[in-house]
Amino acid sequence: MKYSKDFLLNLYIKLLRARKVEEKFVELYAQGKIPGNAHSGIGEEATFVGACMALNSSDYMLPTHRGVMAVLTKGVSLKSIFCDAFGKREGTNKGKGGIVRICSKEKGVLGISGTQGGVFVIAVGAGLSIKILKEKKVVLAFFGDDTSNRGTFHESLNMASLWKLPIIFVCDNNEYGISEHVSKVMAVSNVADRAVAYSIPSEIVDGNLILEVYEATMRAVNRAHSGGGPTLIEAKTYRIREHSEGGIPFPRPKEVISAWENKCPVKQYKEFLLNKGFIDKEWINKVDQKLNKEIEEAIKLANNSKDPQVEDVWDGLYV
């Protein structure tokens, strides 16, 4: 694919912003400022940012519990994200769901299910609504490698294929489900291997190369728009930090972690742009300072936002 310089630079800014927000969440959690759980996606930014960059503002997206990078790229404001993290009233879930329950009807972020594997079922419902209403939209549903072992994965892919629904299933394969390596819980070598059982086209991409993820997602979007139905994309990446901040650490080979850190998606893409001559150290420093300022201002606004009140407990309920 051919890209403009502006697009490539914007991609770097979004990728770096995602990394900085992830690092800030780790820092704030360690300071005791984020209640509940925080699941870091450091090292996996290219998968979430690259896929979401292929979407339009009207498209639907379902993140995972490691999906702050995705909702940020989809357009949810930094202030709203930090309000959710701090349990503030002005967050997208009004202080009730924390960092893992970010949602936004305006931005097409449908939120995540309270059950692992629930995103598949919601994606099928959203995809069916698009088909019935004859809208030119797609649904992108992120999921983890271990979640493909659940029944909802197989039932949903079967229905999506039968009905030719405009759904893109993106597997964020970071090799681990909490502390268990994927090779110990999955009988096939790749999650993408499972797509053939439902006559769904699939791709395996390097989840640390943002352009590779973006291009695969664009192919899936175009296929969905032309009536070709769903696609399964498996992005091979790695979870640098533990399953959740403050959780019990488990032993992993240090040399493996080090090797993946050397394949950092931000570092690789920055080197790509430097080699192209599109950016220099001065430009990098300006972007770095600008993003740091944006994030600190959003944190300040979120800190000064209102806390939810007792009477707010009933707000937003259907019945």
Look at the chain and count its residues: 319
- Could you tell me which CATH number the domain at 5-74+116-272 has? 3.40.50.970
pLDDT at residue number 265 = 98
Residue among 13, 9, 14, 114 at smallest CA distance from 69: 14
The rounded Cα 176 to chain-centroid distance in angstroms is: 16
pLDDT for the residue 152: 96
Q: Where are the beta strands (DSSP E) in the chain?
A: 60-62, 139-144, 167-173, 176-177, 180-181, 202-206, 231-236
CA distance 308 to 319: 20
Residue with tokens 């993820």: 213
Place of tokens 């979407």: 55
User: pTM of this prediction?
Assistant: 0.94
229 SS3 class: coil
pLDDT of residue 178: 87
Q: Where along the chain do its domains lie?
A: 5-74+116-272
Select from 153, 145, 252, 158 the least CA-distant residue to 188.
Answer: 145
Residue 299, H or E segment: helix 281-303
C-alpha dihedral sign at 204, 210, 216, 221? positive
Q: Write a three-state SS string for 1-31.
A: CCCCHHHHHHHHHHHHHHHHHHHHHHHHHHC
The one-digit pLDDT tens for each residue of the chain (319 residues) are 899 999 999 999 999 999 999 999 999 999 999 988 889 999 999 999 999 999 999 999 999 989 899 999 999 999 999 999 999 999 998 888 888 889 999 999 998 877 888 999 999 999 999 999 999 999 999 999 999 999 999 999 999 999 999 999 999 999 998 888 999 999 999 999 999 999 999 999 999 999 999 999 999 999 999 999 999 999 999 999 988 888 888 888 899 999 999 999 999 999 999 999 999 999 999 999 999 999 999 999 999 999 989 888 888 777 6
Nearest Cα neighbor of 303 from 156, 90, 118 is 90
**pLDDT value at residue 251:** 85
